[in-house]
Amino acid sequence: MKKKPTSRDVAKKAGVSQTTVSLILNNRTDMTFPETTRRKVREAARELNYVPNQFARGLKTNQSRLIGLLLPTISNPYYQTLAQHIEEFAASKGYNILLCNTSRLADREESYISLLKSKSADGVIYTFAPLLPDKVRQVIPADRMVIFGENEQNLGFRTISLDSYKAGEIVAKYLIELGHKRIGFVTSPLSGFSLSRKSRLDGVIAAMKAAGLESGLVVKEGKDEKEINDSSFEIDIGFSLTEELLREHSVTAIIGVNDMVAFGALSHILRTDLRVPEDISVCGFDNIYLSRILKPHITTVDHYIADKARSAVEMIIASVEAEDDPSDRQMDTHDNMNGPMLIKRESTGPAPN
Amino acid sequence: MKKKPTSRDVAKKAGVSQTTVSLILNNRTDMTFPETTRRKVREAARELNYVPNQFARGLKTNQSRLIGLLLPTISNPYYQTLAQHIEEFAASKGYNILLCNTSRLADREESYISLLKSKSADGVIYTFAPLLPDKVRQVIPADRMVIFGENEQNLGFRTISLDSYKAGEIVAKYLIELGHKRIGFVTSPLSGFSLSRKSRLDGVIAAMKAAGLESGLVVKEGKDEKEINDSSFEIDIGFSLTEELLREHSVTAIIGVNDMVAFGALSHILRTDLRVPEDISVCGFDNIYLSRILKPHITTVDHYIADKARSAVEMIIASVEAEDDPSDRQMDTHDNMNGPMLIKRESTGPAPN
DNA sequence: TTGTATGCGTTATCAT
DNA sequence: ATGATAACGCATACAA
């Protein structure tokens, strides 16, 4: 590890003071330098391969340009895509992403929170409801924290909402319009972590009720969530619950609680005599990239994740920048955001008969 | 952003000096303290919610416990799984992952390299051949850099090899044993970035040649790589090239250059009258998690990615730790590692006739 | 316009 | 066994 050049080295080489180097390299507009000085400094920096030491800078400024991204797992197309969008937008703004995979384990979550504090992360994006909301509050300033997902329990954190309830309604209404009266809802466990699963189901129930079809809904819920780190678990759940469902009930449509579960359902159905969508319709949620790839293309609900990822990052950056200039302290008025949108594809059609 | 407590605050509260706090909280074994002092300090730290400031610590120690992970994209099951394994093992060792998505763009790669230097990253893991090897060499010390993948051009970087050539051989030999004589090789572009694609093909060619079946190989190569950031591109390539291939040639087996391409191939075949594997066999490379999920389960080659991810992280950590104690400077003797292994599944069978 | 001096919070050296 | 004190490299208030 050869020693790295410091701003003092650059200063010496350029024949100016270290202050001048700092000022010029930070492009400070409130100061003006002769073009020759600027050139000398930049050239010296380039020749020495100088890069400012973020430890030293951070010690002064207390900014890290680091955003912690907490995920239950990255082996899941939904989180993947989310991570990708967040990373891309953050990078475009000069912020970087520290990958924090919690596996939904409280102790991992806790150690990551401490880590983020000690690294003076400028912000934290949760992609699930915190397991330890009180701990988080102690450690992370409220305006540096955003939850990406459901907002139900209202813990007082800022939230980028996906409105899963409405998404559930939309899907159910669509199927009802197509004439479906007996619908199966297949889901990984509703208890515990994922609030969005429950919300989606609630939305479906509401729509069924509104159409007087309550009794036509069959819910099949998966059991334990032990293997949740690998999304193959969700496919398996979709597969086996659908098998069970079709053995016991005659439905004309199946809603998977997300696209992965829906794939599992589809995967079972394709092994039977049933045709999709002639005999049975299938749909999911999330519009993960696989849903426009795997055949038959699956009907699903899009959340405008890219836009929302952008908003999440923007909220944090706004707080960071408000630090210097406390004037524009406008918080989270992100209400005019796109709601969920149905993506109709091959896997759904009119009810048979 | 309320002010964070410093070790001095802890010292004041515990009634000791700041030095003592540092010594105790760092669990230094070369120093011994009365149990009462230790308790006082720890308690004060806990009560104040004290977390050491990494900027200050880093300034002194020049260690960040940060590893930069350079990926072309994370929207690809292969890189996903790799990232997951690397993150998990690194976290277990107290190291963290900075996500560096380059989209295979040279300027992004360059800015990430500078960033990693300025953040004093302890190491860098490339998951592809560097676009800017010279720049990397200038900025990242050789012993803090590991390439995960092919080693062909031998740029002088340490490498965790996947031995794609051998993987190609293994697959081809297996198909030949099953009696296949006319085999299609379907691939995304061979030029440019991905060395492993070419190596896989070379391995296949070698095996065919060895069996005197050279003329039985048909290679279909996809054109431009513009949409490579979304792995749907690879599925599309598999789909359309297979369509083309089957129109022009009669083969009894198709090798996809990776599992995604193989899925694309499969996806087309399932829309024809051909049965898999009775009429035609399909296989891929990488053993991504989808390959044991999607039906029919696809035959593929496993690389022991989890083990190798571990090795990559270990190599870096070893270098970091060798810094203090330059005695154990044993470098990359990771030769006794598992080679590629064939995973036989439903999508392959004996050649027809 | 440029340079000098100081301090950020830690770790580490050296006294005590 | 514990406490003063000096760096680490940068940004910045202030001096020139």
**Residue after which a domain boundary falls, among B277, B302, B327:** B302
B30 occurs within a structural domain:
yes
CA dist B300 and B181 (Å) reads 19
Does A114 reach chain B within 8 Å, measured CB to CB?
yes
CA dist B17 and A130 (Å) reads 37
Clarify whether residues B199 and B316 are in a common domain: no
B47 occurs within a structural domain:
yes
Best residue of B4, B287, B295 to probe chain A, by most A CBs closer than 10 Å: B295
**Three-state helix/strand/coil letters over B252-300:** CEEEECCHHHHHHHHHHHCCCCCCCCCCCEEECCCCCHHHHCCCCCCEE
Instruction: Give me the residues of chain B with pLDDT under 50, please.
Output: 1-2, 326-330, 332-333, 335
- Which CATH number fits the domain that encloses residue A17? 1.10.260
Nearest by CB: A101 against B75, B84, B114: B84
B57 occurs within a structural domain:
no
Clarify whether residues A212 and A316 are in a common domain: no
A345 occurs within a structural domain:
no
A240 occurs within a structural domain:
yes
Clarify whether residues B203 and B271 are in a common domain: yes
Cα distance between the two ends of chain B: 74
pLDDT given at position A225: 61
Instruction: Give me the residues of chain A with pLDDT under 50, please.
Output: 1-2, 326-330, 332-333, 335
Determine whether the interchain pair A289/B230 forms a contact, defined as Cβ–Cβ distance below 8 Å. yes
Domain that holds residue A132: 64-162+305-335
Cis peptide before A141 (omega within 30 of 0): no
B270 occurs within a structural domain:
yes
A313 occurs within a structural domain:
yes
Contact B109, B133 (CB under 8 A): no
Number of domains chain A is built from: 3
Cα distance between the two ends of chain A: 74
CA dist A71 and A64 (Å) reads 20
- Identify the bridge partners of residue A342 per DSSP, sorted by sequence position: A301
Which among A317, A53, A282 has a CA at the least distance from the CA of B115?
Answer: A53
Clarify whether residues B120 and B208 are in a common domain: no
Q: Determine the length of chain B.
A: 353
Clarify whether residues A157 and A191 are in a common domain: no
pTM of the full predicted structure? 0.91
CA dist B128 and B83 (Å) reads 13
pLDDT given at position B150: 75
- Which CATH number fits the domain that encloses residue A264? 3.40.50.2300
pLDDT given at position B178: 97
Does A84 reach chain B within 8 Å, measured CB to CB?
yes
For chain A residues 42-71, those near strand D by a CB cutoff of 7 A are 50, 52-53, 55-57, 59-61
Determine whether the interchain pair A267/B295 forms a contact, defined as Cβ–Cβ distance below 8 Å. yes
pLDDT given at position B166: 95
pLDDT given at position B44: 87
Contact B298, B254 (CB under 8 A): no
* 3-state SS assignment for residue A132: coil
pLDDT given at position B327: 47
B15 occurs within a structural domain:
yes
DSSP A144: G
Clarify whether residues B170 and B259 are in a common domain: yes
